[in-house]
């Protein structure tokens, strides 16, 4: 069974149309935007997380966790465990 981190990395690869592969997505030394994830791809990623994982992301709140796959996975895990 895939971990949340793996699932998010797969979503990043998908919404970036392969511009950011799974291995690059998992590298936490740079933010997703530094790796080339566009603002449109970010919105598609949020939509995919909400649809595929059932976790709502309030874009008007603190979204600093969206900078890395690890941050997103941690957020998703917190939301699904409560």
Whether pLDDT at 1 is above 70 = no
Q: Which two tokens mark 31? A: 């933010």
Burial (CB count within 10 angstroms: exposed 0-12, middle 13-18, buried 19+), residue 17 = exposed
Break the chain down into helix, strand, coil percent, rounded to 5: 60, 0, 40
Residue 63 has pLDDT above 90, yes or no: yes
The confidence score (pLDDT) of residue 2 equals: 81
**Model's pTM, two decimal places?**
0.92
CA dist., res. 22 & res. 13, Å (int): 6
E-strand ranges in 1-82 read none
pLDDT, tens only, 3-21: 999 999 999 999 999 999 9
Query: Which residue has tokens 């998703």?
Result: 76
- Measured CA to CA, the distance from residue 82 to residue 80 in angstroms comes to 6
pLDDT single digits (tens) 18-62: 999 999 999 999 999 999 999 999 999 999 999 999 999 999 999
């Amino acid at each position: 069974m895939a971990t949340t981190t793996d699932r998010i990395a797969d979503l990043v690869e998908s919404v970036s149309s392969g511009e950011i592969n799974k291995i690059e997505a998992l590298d936490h030394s740079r933010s997703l935007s530094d790796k080339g994830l566009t603002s449109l791809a970010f919105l598609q990623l949020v939509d995919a997380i909400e649809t595929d994982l059932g976790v709502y992301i309030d874009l008007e709140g603190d979204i600093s966790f969206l900078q890395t796959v690890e941050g997103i996975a941690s957020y998703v895990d917190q939301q699904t465990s409560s």
